[in-house]
Amino acid sequence: MKYILVVYMCLAGACESVYEQVPYDTVEECQKASQEVSITAQEMFPMSTGQVWCLTEQEFDKYISQNKGI
């Protein structure tokens, strides 16, 4: 199973969702990367809010279809 790292971040009232193009082979690899991304985002944008997820390809497809406007 492949896992896709998704970052949802809000800064100054504007929210955006971004994701990595290359999926991770294991959930552990994705979770490690997500922790690094979260720490970096908090350091670079301390006034921002957001979340980081590791989604399966099926979960990602559903997320994208439900959030086309993001």
Cα–Cα–Cα angle for 9, 57, 44, rounded to 5 degrees: 20
pLDDT at 9: 94
Is 63 within a domain? yes
pLDDT at 13: 86
Is 11 within a domain? no
Is 55 within a domain? yes
| Residues in Cβ contact with 25 at an 8 Å cutoff, skipping those fewer than 6 apart | 2, 3
Q: What residues make up the domain containing 55? A: 1-6+18-31+49-70
Is 43 within a domain? no
Is 54 within a domain? yes
Is 22 within a domain? yes
Q: Look at 67 and 55; give whichever has higher pLDDT.
A: 55
Please give the Cα distance from 54 to 23 (Å, whole number): 10
Q: What is the pTM of this model?
A: 0.85
Q: Count of domains in the chain? A: 1
Confidence of residue 54 (pLDDT cuts 50, 70, 90): very high
